[in-house]
Amino acid sequence: MNKITFLSLLVSCWLIAGCQNEWGDTEGFHYDTSLHYDESILLLDSISNCSGNIDDAFFVDTLFIESVGGKKTLVFPAQIYTDKKIIRSIGIHPSGDTLIVGLIEKEKTPNYLLDCPVLVYSTVNKDLPGKYLSLGPAYTYFLKKK
């Protein structure tokens, strides 16, 4: 075997091994995204188990904010049919492997880094076309009715 053939074979094996190692290693993959939310979000579903394998185990929560006796309460039912006057702006940020959801003021609309995707299925107002959550360059989920 001449030197050129040997070097070509060596480089080919090195490239194949490198590519297989890169493609096969999914253990370090994270859904690090930035949530850009709309002030009129009414329903949102989020993967709660951010630290686990998203394909194997996850929980879906739907959130709304109820006003009872002047106090705002976060509620997680399967569905919501409520007066939109009691819905307020919602902010989300991670705390460990848990998503913290809370009220935010209208003038404050920060973007929080998330460790898992958040999907929105409905908004307070009815003009759903064109409203979306941008979850980084590769993840854009358009709103749709559930």
Owner of token pair 């859904």: 31
- Predicted confidence at residue 4, as pLDDT, reads 54
- Predicted confidence at residue 92, as pLDDT, reads 52
Structure tokens at 44: 């949102």
Owner of token pair 């989920």: 141
Q: Which residue, among 109, 64, 104, 105, has the nearest Cα to 84 in the 3D structure?
A: 64
Alpha-helical runs (H) found in the chain:
3-24
- Predicted confidence at residue 2, as pLDDT, reads 52
Owner of token pair 């590769």: 138
Averages of pLDDT over each 10 residues, the chain, 146 residues: 50 42 36 37 41 35 50 40 40 48 41 42 37 33 33
The span from the CA of 122 to the CA of 128, in Å, is 7
